[in-house]
Structure formats: C-alpha cells, structure tokens
Structure 1
Amino acid sequence: MTSYAPSRTTGAVPDTAASQRRVLRALVASQILSGAGLAAGITVGALLAQDMLGSTGLAGLPLALSTGGSALAAVAVGRVSQARGRRPGLTAGYLTGAVGAAGVITAAALHSPVLLFAALFVYGAGTATNLQARYAGADLAAPGHRGRAVSTVLVATTLGGVAGPNLAAPTGVLAESLGLPHLAGPFLLSGAAYLSAAVVLAGWMRPDPLLLARTVAAAEAGGGTEAGNEAGGGGAATDPAAGAAGRGEGRGGVFLGALVMVLTQLVMVAIMTMTPVHMHAHGHGTAASGLVISLHIAAMYLPSPLTGRLVDRIGRIRIAVAAGAVLPAAGVLAAAAPADSVALLALALALLGLGWNFGLVAGTAVITDTVPLATRARTQGLVDVSVALAGAAGATASGVVVAATGYPVLALTAAALSLALLPAVTVTAHRR
C-alpha cells in the first residue's frame, strides 16, 4: 500500500518514494528483457532483407519499416498511457512487438518479402515501447532527479542489449534445428523477450506511476475529489512543471527536446543500420557484427547513470551540446576505419552510441520538465513519433547511399549532419 505523509494543504499527500522504487524495479526487469529483443532484431534485420531480396540498396528497409511502425506505436502507447496509465500502454506495446516477431519468423520460413515487411512494421512496436518506458521512470521523480530516473531505466536495457546480438549465432543454430532459416533465430529471442517484458509490467508495475503522479499533484493542489478522478485515468491534474509551461517555456522546451532527440536518432540509425552490411560485405560473419553492435548498444545505454547525473547537475543544454561533439567524431572514425578492422569499427560505433545517449537523456529531461501532467503521456508519444520517423528516414537513406557511394560517404554525411546540432541547440536554448 502507498504510505501517506502530512501535507500543508490537504493533510494527506501520497509519499511517492517507495512507489518510485517499486516502479523502477519493474521497469528495470522489463528493460533487460526488451533490450535483448530489440538488439537481436537490429543485428540481423538488414542481413535478412538482403538475403531475401538480393539487394544491398534495400538492406536498410527492415529498420525503416520497424522504425515507421514504432512511430505509429508511439502514438498508440502514448494515448493509451494518457487515458489508462503507463502499465496498460507499455504492456500492449510489448505484446504487439511479440506478434511482429512471430510474423518475421513466419515470413522467413515462407520466404515472403511482403509478409516480412508487414511483420517488421508491427515488430517496431517493441522498439517504441522500450523507449517510452523511460518516461515512466520520470513520472514520480523530483524535478532535480529526473535525469537520473530516466538513466536508471535506460541503463537496464544494456544487459539485454549486449546479450541479444551475441546470441545471434546460437539462436540461428536453434532456428535451423527447428527447420527455420538461420537469420530467423534472433527473432525467436525477440518474440520471447517482448512477451516476457509485457508479463513483468502487467504483474509488477504497481502502482501505475503516471496515475499516482496525477493523484499526488491533485492532492497537493487541494483537489481531494479530483484526485480520485485522476487516479481513474481521466481529466487534468496540476503539475509543478506546468508553471514553467505556463510562462511560455512549454513549447520551447518541447521543440528543443524533440530537436535534440530527432537529430541524434537520425545520425545514429543511419550509421548503425549499414555497419553490419558493410562488415558482411568485407568477409566478417554474424559473430563479428554482433560483437560490434553489442558494444554499440552498451555505449547507448551503459553510460546512462553518469549522463543522468550530469544532466541534473550541469544542465540539459550542455549535455545536448556534448552530443553534437561526439557524434561527428563517431562518423569520421567510422568512415576512416579500415573495413577489416573490427576494433576501429567497434570504437566508432561505441562513440556513436555515447552521442545518442547524451542526446536522448538530455532531450527526455527537457520534455519532462516542460510538459504538464495533463498532457504529458500524449505529448511524449507525439515527440517519439518524430524520433521514430527520423530513424526511419535514416535507415531508408542509409541503404541507398551505401549502394550508390559506399559506407564511408554515409558515415561522413551523417557526421556533417550531426554538426547542425550545435548551432540548433544554442539558438533554440537562447530563444527560450
């Protein structure tokens, strides 16, 4: 049960500390599972499409489709969360991702590109849900600790994210033993991981963090009756962050946070998508590409606790600017690395993941700071649509660019694009 502490306004305001700890435990467990699911699919998605279509130019299409599907799922998860709470929204998202994984396995068995593309679109719901979970970690966090709360959820993805790509080879063997194509194996892992994450959230994430946050805000504002209504999932509630939004900070904060996350996602996905294809074309197997992707995903999530503390301590803008410095370095190194050097490619992808981590944690904190509880989940879902569409654009363009000009040109182009983050963040922050 939720404990209560004295209040100067109503005399009974829920104490959220214990509830936040329970919520974070459930989120951490689900993120470990879902991290394995999304990472396994990333490792072989492009290779599966290349194998079925016989074209490098379309190798980026699987990630583009799954990212496009994640855009639609971000809206759906956001709306369900807004109306009914984080638990049903995230659970539904992971279940949809599991259905998509089953569809990919079926498509691979039937060698059906049409079914593969449709299934990958549905599969994208798992990626969207994994990212949306970071917002649930911040719902009950104090404003000065939101960066750390977000980072706690993100870092949990590291464990599954590192394990997933390295299980590509053994799950491929399992798939062959079941009479399925080798590259369908990682999607067996993805389906099981997403299903398990859904079960964990449905059973363990209680109380619902968004609904409890509304109850607390209403109680602090003196709305005892309204608090009960908010806990049921409807209506608006008072939020300390709403004050900033009311002073004209809201729109600027949403734009700034979205800008940072969109640019970092576009650059990261473009380079990441084609790295396994680039390695495969130069004689590296799935074990080598799986190692590089696992290190990349580790760099995406493992630094999160430190990033969260830096975001809370030195500011969101400074960390966003740091993302604009790290990403170009990653692109240049990826372009310059010899194709036979797994070590240098791994270092480039690690820097790419680190730059993405800076942008995501900083952007998420900005969004959470400035959006009131009354519209928080819906707005967060819409922002993640932009992020997902940026990833889809990066994945689609990456295959075309590599087929026409080569991997180094893609990496340098992405590096140049990421430099736009520096003036864009500076100008937007100055206007705020």
Structure 2
Amino acid sequence: MTQSFPLPSAGERAGVQRRTVTVLSVGQVLGGVAFGATLSLGAVLAAEVSGDDALSGLATAAVTLGTAAVAMPLAALARRAGRRASLTVGTMGALVGVVGVILAASVGSFVLLLAAFFLVGAGQAANLQSRFAATDLATDATRGRDLSLVVWATTVGAVLGPNLAGPGEALGAALGMPPLTGAYVFTIAAQALAIVLYLAALRPDPLVLAVRLRTAAAGLSQGAVAGADRPRLARYAVFAVAASHVVMVSVMAMTPVHLLHHGADLVVVGLTLSLHIAGMYALAPLFGILADRWGRMPTILLGQGVLASSLVLASFGAESTAAVTLALILLGLGWSAATVAGAALLTEASAEDRRTRRQGFSDFAMSFVGALGAIGSGVVLAAIGYSGLALVVGAAVVATVVLAPVAVADGAARGRGAGGAGT
C-alpha cells in the first residue's frame, strides 16, 4: 500500500468514512444482484444443463465453495494494495463468471457451468469483504453501525435479483439468449457498474488511509504495527460467526424440502424464505447499534439466544407451517446479531498486521462450513428428520455460549478488557 495523499483531520476522516460506507452500500446492492439471481436461477439452470434434478444443488455449492476459495486471496490483496483493488478484482471475477454461465448454457456444458458459478463466488467474497471495509476508518463507537449498514444494503440486491427472472426472460428471448439466462444481462450490467464505482469512488482507499492514520497516531515509522492483539478473542469471533452461519444454513437449506413434504405449496415456501432473508438483513442496523452501545459480546450472545429459540421452535413445531415460518424469521435475526457483532469484535481484537488476514480467514471459514452444513443437513434430515436436525445443530450454539467466558477473560488480560472491545 503505497498510495500518497495528505492525512485528513478528524472531521475530514469522518466525512471520508461516511462516503466510504455509502459507496460500499451501493456496491453491495449491485453485487447482490448477481448472488440473488444465482440463488433463484442457479439450481434450475444446473438441472436443465445436466439433465438431472439431483445435481441442481451443485450450483449453490459451487458458488459457496468459490466464495470460500477466494476469500483469503482477496484479503491478502487488500493487505498489499488496499480495499479498492480487492473489491474490484472480486467483482471482476463475478462478471467473468456470469458471462461463463451464459456461455455454458449456450453450449450445454455442465462442467463449464459449475466453473462459472465458482467464479460468481468471487463476487460474493467481495460482498463479504465490504462489511470489513466499512470498519477500516470507523471508530469504536460507530464500528458496528457502519458495518451493519453495509450488511443491510445486501437486502436490496437479495430481493431484486430473484425478481429479475421474469423481465430477464423477456429480454433474453429478444436477444436470442439461451432460456433462463436473460436475467444475467442485468447482472452483467450491475457488476460492471460496481467495478466502475469501486475504481472511481472508493478514494481515498479506506484501508490504506487507516494504516497511515494509525501509524501516524502511534508515532511509528511507515509500515510498523500499531494496536494490541488479542488472538483468543479474535479466534472466538471467527468461531462465533462460523458457528452461527452453519446453524442458519443447515436449517434454512432443508426447510423448503420439509415444508413441501408436509403439504405446503411453493407460495408458502417462497414466503417463508423471503421472511427469513428479511430477518437476516433488514434489522442489521439495529444489531449494529446494539453492538456499539451494549457491547460486541452481549450482542453475539443475544444472537445465540435467538438462534436457540428458533431451533427449539423448529424442533417442537415442525408439523406446523406457521411455527416453522416463525422459526426461520428468528433464525435470520439470530444470524444477523451474531455475524454483525462478531465481525466488529474480530476487527477490534486483531492487530494491524493481522487484521485483514483474519478477516479473510473468517470469510473462508464462514463459507466453507456453510457449504458443509448445506450438504450434511440433507443427510441428517433423511436420518432423523427436521426436528432432529434442529436439535443437532444446536450444539454449535451451545459451544459458542460456553466458549464466551474464556474469550472475554483473554481480552481483559491483554489490557483492554470489556470496555475496549465492547465485550
């Protein structure tokens, strides 16, 4: 990171941070279009191209594995060249992937289709990194809020993407494109706009500026490390985010199958998933504010309490569509609280030279265990049913709660304690 620009005053820094959060939020909306379209059309395309409905789930699996694979390299790029470079490269990967999806559908290649969806995962990795980019210039008092605003912006893309299927098909037919790929024209435009946005508007680079500000404040030479490191607290934050994610993905992935087997129609299934997604993102700013005012650790534990309530309701109310729908809303809310506060805690618990590496590892772990959860939950569902699945994944919630006191003790022992980390 060798960019040259004058150091801003405190007021100017706050202005840069506000602009950064705005740019990242718009980028999340644009980037989310690709992921939303993939979620709605990927499985159908995979079944169409492969000729086997049993392979339809591999589309989402390929995106998730692509996200996991790219997360750490993008974090390394951010460490070397700044957030603008890493977000641009990740979005470019998604753009290439979307073009590959259209090409694969044209030639009928299932292998190429999976490779293209893998590249689309690079865009999702960039979207995940955006929430950490929102923390680079944030203060302890606003870090959770700023991060959560970027997370909230995901709602727009997640809702917009699936709803482009109808207009996209009409546009695709007019352009002579393969069936089911027309919506990706909108996705290509959105990814291209996101690339232009990051290159033109993410200036100064928030990570580059943050490093320079901390170095200057510490009175150290350029490139020196500033800030205390609390590795056990950071590891706990990674674990809490990953554990909450695997709980959410495992139950969410099997809910449509469970509801359909119990007589619900596709309208009910779609409504349930829409309410779940709203729970994941719509109240993220509230949890960000709670994390800032109440503390990171209490908000993580609040998320575990909500997740536990969701799992109990899903297990004992598995035969009731209304109970399952409420459980999915609570599942999204618990995930939101834990991941927003966990990301803020990870940032604060990591010294300058370890921060982006750990953020990248957190995104990798989150995506990887999510893929394992999506795959393994089907096996568990077949073996012991939906009620049993909800109870089994509850072990991750218990582990997150049990490990919390150890992490807090480590944070206190290293000199900043509960007040410094919001624990």
When normalised by structure 2's length, the TM-score is 0.85
Match of 2:295 among 308, 311, 315: 315
What is the alpha-carbon distance in structure 2 between the residues aligned to residue 60 and residue 403 of structure 1?
A: 16
Q: Report deviation, 1:375.
A: 2.9
1:140 equivalent to 2:137? Answer: yes
Contact 1:402 1:410 in 2 (8 A): yes
What is the alpha-carbon distance in structure 2 between the residues aligned to residue 404 and residue 174 of structure 1?
A: 44
Match of 1:102 in 2: 99
Match of 1:264 among 244, 247, 256: 244
Which consecutive unaligned segments of at least 5 residues does structure 1 have? Answer: 6-12, 228-235
- Equivalent pairs: percent with the same residue? 39
What is the alpha-carbon distance in structure 1 between the residues aligned to residue 179 and residue 131 of structure 2?
A: 33
2:141 aligned counterpart, secondary structure: helix
Cα distance change of structure 1 residues 135 and 408 upon mapping to structure 2, 3 Å threshold: same
What is the alpha-carbon distance in structure 1 between the residues aligned to residue 178 and residue 392 of structure 2?
A: 35
Q: Report deviation, 1:346.
A: 4.2
Contact 2:98 2:187 in 1 (8 A): yes
1:206 aligned counterpart, secondary structure: coil
Match of 1:54 in 2: 52
Cα distance change of structure 1 residues 270 and 173 upon mapping to structure 2, 3 Å threshold: farther
Contact 2:233 2:407 in 1 (8 A): no
Contact 1:148 1:312 in 2 (8 A): yes
Which digits, 9 at most, give the CA deviation of each residue in 1:250-286, with x for residues without a partner?
211221110101101112222333444556675744x
Contact 1:31 1:130 in 2 (8 A): yes
Cα RMSD, aligned residues only: 2.9
What is the alpha-carbon distance in structure 1 between the residues aligned to residue 315 and residue 92 of structure 2?
A: 38
What is the alpha-carbon distance in structure 2 between the residues aligned to residue 338 and residue 182 of structure 1?
A: 37
What is the alpha-carbon distance in structure 2 between the residues aligned to residue 338 and residue 324 of structure 1?
A: 20
Match of 2:163 in 1: 166
Q: Report deviation, 1:15.
A: 4.0
Match of 2:328 among 342, 349, 353: 349
Contact 2:316 2:387 in 1 (8 A): yes
Contact 1:60 1:396 in 2 (8 A): no
What is the alpha-carbon distance in structure 2 between the residues aligned to residue 399 and residue 181 of structure 1?
A: 31
Q: Report deviation, 1:344.
A: 5.2
Which digits, 9 at most, give the CA deviation of each residue in 1:166-225, with x for residues without a partner?
3344434544555556544554444433332222111111110011111111222234xx
What is the alpha-carbon distance in structure 1 between the residues aligned to residue 399 and residue 174 of structure 2?
A: 49
Spell out the pairing of 1:26-425 with structure 2 (5 A cutoff). Answer: 26-50=23-47, 52=50, 54-56=52-54, 58-175=55-172, 178=175, 183-223=180-220, 226-227=221-222, 236-239=223-226, 242-243=227-228, 245=229, 250-276=230-256, 284-285=265-266, 289-334=269-314, 341=321, 345-402=324-381, 407=386, 409-425=388-404
Match of 1:232 in 2: none
Q: Report deviation, 1:16.
A: 1.1
2:39 aligned counterpart, secondary structure: helix
193-202 or 66-75, larger mean C-alpha shift: 193-202
Which consecutive unaligned segments of at least 5 residues does structure 2 have? Answer: 412-423
Cα distance change of structure 1 residues 380 and 166 upon mapping to structure 2, 3 Å threshold: same
Cα distance change of structure 1 residues 258 and 186 upon mapping to structure 2, 3 Å threshold: farther
Which structure is richer in relative contact order (CA contacts within 8 A, separation 6 or more)? Answer: 1
Cα distance change of structure 1 residues 389 and 350 upon mapping to structure 2, 3 Å threshold: same
The alignment of Structure 1 onto Structure 2 pairs a total of residues equal to 405
Contact 1:71 1:384 in 2 (8 A): yes
1:167 aligned counterpart, secondary structure: helix
Q: Report deviation, 1:124.
A: 0.8
What is the alpha-carbon distance in structure 1 between the residues aligned to residue 339 and residue 192 of structure 2?
A: 25
Contact 1:96 1:125 in 2 (8 A): yes
